[in-house]
Amino acid sequence: MSNVREECGVFGIFANSKANVAASVYFGLFALQHRGQESCGICVNDDGVFNTYKDSGLVDDVFTPEVMASLGEGNMAVGHVRYSTAETVGRANAQPIVVNHIKGRMALSHNGSLINYFELREELEMDGAIFHTDSDAEIISFLITRERLKAPSIEEAINRAMHKIKGSYSIVAMSPSKMIALRDERGFRPLCYGITDDGSYVVASESCALDSVGAVLIRDIKPGEIMIFDKNGVRSITDHCHKAPPSLCVFEYIYFARPDSIIDGVSVHTARRRAGEFLADEHPVPADVVIGVPDSGIDAAMGYAAKSGIPYGLGFIKNKYIGRTFISPAQSIREDKVKIKLNPVSDTVNGKRVVLVDDSIVRGTTCALIVRLLREAGAVEVHMRSSAPPFINACYYGTDISSSESLIAANNSIEEIAKILDVDSLGYLSIESANRLTDRGPENGFCRACFNGCYPTEIPNLKKKNKYKKKISEKDTDK
């Protein structure tokens, strides 16, 4: 509901014998659907033969029974769900990326954003490379393939390529004989792995996807780590570990991840409840009921209610048959979808002073509509609380906020925002409290650049953006 979106989710499975691994990836992607609703894809490895299908749409729509049957069986598979940025919309950028080369083949799914994309693409194109998409995944695939022509193994090729790529990336890839998972040296995006009862290894962006296929979480993949899964078991390359301070995106806990996931050893649900408790301490207000904006605002609302002593109530009924509102590119369409998606429970809010808790306030347009719905349902006061600090800076690590121009907090004071949203009071979580969501103290290693402007890497050079990140038209991407 906050109009900020994380771009992708990845999933992979390595089985000890031939099986219906496509079904496992299907269930895993279904569990990760919240991370990407524009396109999805699955690639199955059957004794070195890669069977791939990808298309625009939701997992359940794209992977019909006929498509699933066409993928066949295998001992490995990787999958991907994707949101696009404004510049890379279209079916052509769906993943996994599949590469065939003289030493074999590779399939790769990527979550994140490279800060040196433009420099790498220019360098590679000047060296004769030809690209078919605008995605970071194709750049990464090309670099790995180029190293693979000289390296003794795919894992060594990946190890060498990691010296070239900068920014955020959590990747699951496979060759004809291995599945490989890797995470950038700062760990911007989550990645974990687990094991099923039959000994199959599973890699996913979030642990909730492991749960969907009956896998037990073993641990998160460490920042900078390369993990190899093959017939000999599991091994790890740590050459890139401890090269930089960890910088997990704090928005994973605030909004992106599912509340039933465990990220870097911490429950997302617990972190969100803590955010609500901190909000109650920082921004108390006399009220009759606390409600949360579904879905990611509910956990924080429960925490606010528990800490403040104000009763928690069911404020909205959510239509389960419509996707997240920000999937619609046009603001007018998003506004219509808000009305269809959320309906206030008048018995909860009519005649009441309401504390409304949302995960964040980014552009403000959706929040204003929600407040209006509460007013129309009879709320006499609406006190808005955000379980994130003011979002005032662009993000270069995988969210679709490339400029501060549209950010309401970057251009207005808190008093002005309250007036725009038509709320009686407005309170944001402090940056200090955001740093304490996991109860690890200041060493927790969050990236909070969107709140404080302290970027953990250099800021990317966007001068070549119009040349290399052109919007792909629907005409170009029709089947």
Q: Is the peptide bond before 295 cis (omega within 30 degrees of 0)?
A: yes
**Helix boundaries (H) for 168-320:** 207-212, 251, 268-282, 298-308
Specify if 381 maps to a domain: yes
Decide which of 431 and 340 is more confident.
Answer: 431
Predicted pLDDT of residue 478 = 30
Measured in degrees and rounded to the nearest 5, phi and psi for residue 139 equal -60, -50
Domain boundary among 407, 422, 440: 440
Q: Which residue has the tokens 């390369």?
A: 226
Sign of CA dihedral 204, 205, 210, 215: positive
Q: Could you tell me where the beta strands, DSSP code E, fall in 345-432? A: 353-358, 381-386, 425-428
Predicted pLDDT of residue 335 = 55
Predicted pLDDT of residue 134 = 87
334 and 297 co-located in one domain: yes
CA pair distance 347, 111, nearest whole angstrom: 42
280 and 326 co-located in one domain: yes
CA pair distance 22, 60, nearest whole angstrom: 13
Q: Could you tell me where the beta strands, DSSP code E, fall in 144-249? A: 167-174, 179-183, 192-195, 201-204, 216-220, 226-230, 233-237, 248-249
> In this structure, how many other beta carbons lie within 10 angstroms of the beta carbon of residue 215?
24
Specify if 171 maps to a domain: yes
Specify if 466 maps to a domain: no
Predicted pLDDT of residue 465 = 59
CA angle 294, 192, 9 (to 5 degrees): 50
- Whole-Å CA distances, 4 to 204, 365, 391, 453: 22, 12, 10, 17
The DSSP call for residue 253 is I
Q: Mapping DSSP to helix (H, G, I), strand (E, B) and coil, where does residue 44 land?
A: strand
In this prediction, residue 2 has a pLDDT band, given cuts at 50, 70 and 90, of very low
Is the confidence at residue 467, as pLDDT, over 80?
Answer: no
Specify if 472 maps to a domain: no
In this prediction, residue 8 has a pLDDT band, given cuts at 50, 70 and 90, of very high
**Chain CA centroid to CA 242, Å:** 24
Decide which of 444 and 451 is more confident.
Answer: 451
CA pair distance 402, 399, nearest whole angstrom: 8
94 and 210 co-located in one domain: yes
Q: Which of 139, 127, 65, 61 is nearest to 95 (CA)?
A: 139
Bridge-based pairing state of the strands 289-292 and 39-46: unpaired
- Whole-Å CA distances, 121 to 23, 155, 333, 428, 473: 35, 23, 34, 40, 21
What DSSP assignment string belongs to 305-325?
HHHH-PPB---EEEPTTS--G
Q: Compute the average pLDDT of residues 257-269.
A: 95
> Tokens standing for 107?
């399939």
Q: Compute the average pLDDT of residues 408-422.
A: 96
CA pair distance 89, 239, nearest whole angstrom: 35
CATH number for the domain spanning 276: value is 3.40.50.2020
Is the confidence at residue 286, as pLDDT, over 90?
Answer: yes
Q: Which residue has the tokens 């083949």?
A: 105
Residue 226's domain comprises 8-247
Tally of structural domains, the chain:
2
177 and 324 co-located in one domain: no
**Which range among 20-29, 418-427, 430-439, 455-464 shows the weakest confidence by mean pLDDT?**
455-464
Is the confidence at residue 479, as pLDDT, over 50?
Answer: no
CA pair distance 377, 360, nearest whole angstrom: 23
285 and 241 co-located in one domain: no
The residue count for the chain: 479
Specify if 365 maps to a domain: yes
**Which range among 11-15, 51-55, 437-441 shows the weakest confidence by mean pLDDT?**
437-441
In this prediction, residue 319 has a pLDDT band, given cuts at 50, 70 and 90, of confident
Cα dihedral 106, 111, 116, 120, rounded to 10, equals: 20
Specify if 459 maps to a domain: no
Is the confidence at residue 21, as pLDDT, over 60?
Answer: yes
Q: Which residue has the tokens 């910088």?
A: 247
Q: Which of 431, 37, 8, 457 is nearest to 250 (CA)?
A: 431
Specify if 259 maps to a domain: no
Percent of the chain with pLDDT over 70: 89
Q: Which of 263, 270, 253, 260 is nearest to 6 (CA)?
A: 253
CA pair distance 254, 358, nearest whole angstrom: 10
In this prediction, residue 282 has a pLDDT band, given cuts at 50, 70 and 90, of very high
Mean pLDDT of the chain: 90
12 and 90 co-located in one domain: yes
429 and 362 co-located in one domain: yes
Burial grade of 336 (CB within 10 A; 0-12, 13-18, 19 or more):
middle
285 and 206 co-located in one domain: no
* 208 labelled catalytic: no
Predicted pLDDT of residue 1 = 37
**Which range among 22-36, 85-99, 337-351, 373-387 shows the weakest confidence by mean pLDDT?**
85-99
> Tokens standing for 146?
């180029």
Q: Which one of the listed residues 8, 43, 395, 447 is annotated catalytic? A: 8
Q: Compute the average pLDDT of residues 68-86.
A: 90
Q: Compute the average pLDDT of residues 283-288.
A: 98
Assess contact for 297 and 319: CB atoms under 8 A: no
Q: Which residue has the tokens 């609703």?
A: 37
- Whole-Å CA distances, 178 to 95, 228, 394, 433, 458: 19, 7, 37, 42, 34
Predicted pLDDT of residue 277 = 98
pLDDT digits over 43-75, tens only? 999 999 999 999 999 999 999 999 999 999 999
205 and 317 co-located in one domain: no
Decide which of 218 and 331 is more confident.
Answer: 218
Please list, in sequence order, all residues whose beta carbon lies within 8 angstroms of the beta carbon of residue 389, skipping any fewer than 6 positions away. Answer: 428, 429, 430, 431, 434, 448, 451, 452
In this prediction, residue 262 has a pLDDT band, given cuts at 50, 70 and 90, of very high
222 and 364 co-located in one domain: no
Q: Which of 387, 404, 384 is nearest to 449 (CA)?
A: 404
Q: Which of 53, 132, 130, 44 is nearest to 90 (CA)?
A: 132
CATH number for the domain spanning 125: value is 3.60.20.10
230 and 378 co-located in one domain: no
Domain boundary among 230, 247, 264: 247
Predicted pLDDT of residue 196 = 98
In this prediction, residue 261 has a pLDDT band, given cuts at 50, 70 and 90, of very high
181 and 329 co-located in one domain: no
Predicted pLDDT of residue 33 = 95
